[in-house]
Chain A
Amino acid sequence: MAGTGTAHLRDRDRVLLRVEDLVVEFPASRGQKVHAVSNISLDVLKGETLGLVGESGCGKSTTGKAILQLPPPTSGTVTFEGTDITTLGGRDLRQVRTKLQMIFQDPISSLNPRRKVEQLVAEGLDIWGKGTKDERQKKVDDLLVTVGLDPTVARGRRAHQFSGGQCQRISIARAVATEPALIVCDEPVSALDVSVQAQILNLLEDMKEQYGLTLIFIAHDLAVVKNISDRVAVMYLGRLCEVGDPDVLYQAPAHPYTAALLSAIPVPDPAVRPDERTTLGGEIPSPLSPPSGCRFRTRCPRADEQCKQEVPEMHGIGADHFVACHHPLAPGETLVDLRTS
């Protein structure tokens, strides 16, 4: 997007989570600001998986953390089950947070190395004193079985004794333990081998089914995101570019950035010659001084004066397909030559 707007948001009563005009800025040296997330709006239906994709530094993690108020955003609202949680504090906020969980990219370092697996998984249960000790133990064992670990083997061990894939299973058991309504998965498979990645993606789908979970799934791998998501949002430099059903969005990307991203993916098929595909030139500009107007314009082959002057607004271009671009691609149209530099 590099744009703003709320055309892609759905009916307030139907959504579990609604994020409006989210802004996150970090102070930088010499009085500058990192514009990490700028006026992003999103929503998620109950039981839906929203995929959030974009390249490094575009603000995916910052968005995910701001939703969980870790830390609260600079401005904007985060409405969860009808309450704007940016206004909550203390006990109310802690109470809400048990319903919002997060799974991180690095499975090993995100688990406390001094605690045993059973303690890690039970943490949320213990904090809220749910059930008796025996009930909690039983629940932990059930969770371990569900994520494919043998409780008798796993229970008493510590995280470093497990592989990356196993640690990610423990993280999932732990996140699911408090029966949260929403889990933000921040690149949960990016550090894993493809074969383990497939195991974890399948597991997440199973858990979603079993526990009726709602997910925000962050990743930079478009194929992974498509596989798990019901709806995908593409980010660039702190803003949203395009939102839609993945089957539509990948088939007919409308935003030049989405098109470029899709064409840059290395495909495991030697018939697709990379040198015949289009490559995007240049690099992502600094979030300290993002370009005016459309933030993608410095790398966009379609950019013109309007793109420089006006921030494009999200607008509908088809059933569940929205784009923030002044000159979106028509269905079937391709970027003829993306080599701008």
Chain B
Amino acid sequence: MTMNEHCERPIDELVAYTDGELQAPAHGALEAHLDVCARCAREVDLLRRSGALVAELPGLTPSAGFVDRVVAATADVRRPRGRLLRLLPAAAAAVLIVGLVLARAMRDDRPSDEVALSRAEEREIAQDLFLLENLDALADEDPEALIAIIEDLDLIESVEPEAFGIFDGEEGG
């Protein structure tokens, strides 16, 4: 066997070989080559062993009751808001959202002694800001992204406004 450090055999071929993804003529040719090229034989050995380590990584056992929790969570899936938004074309949704943000801003010209924002309003603003951040994702017609955004809105809805730090310390001004 000769040691040819400068063998030009492409690495993706060696990787595909270790993965059992090299098809008929190439497969035989490479096997013959491995008999005479120590460099490639060594590479294949290292690729095989390092790949096997990834395959053998320990997994994680779902906690007891995982299936039940998922099934219980599906009750939320049927809520009307999510459904409506999912049926809207993404671009129309974006326009609608910009409209909502503007409408909310206009509504804000109220007497100055009412400057303090309610928690619900803080929450709405946090959601608006988040939507503005994601307008491009809304516009690229990707239903998965849209659903992800809706879920982030739900997340904002589920935590206290303080968690988002919106307008902290401005009340009572």
Q: Do A and B bind each other?
A: no
Task: Name A residues whose Cβ lies closer than 8 Å to a Cβ of B.
Answer: none
Task: Name B residues whose Cβ lies closer than 8 Å to a Cβ of A.
Answer: none
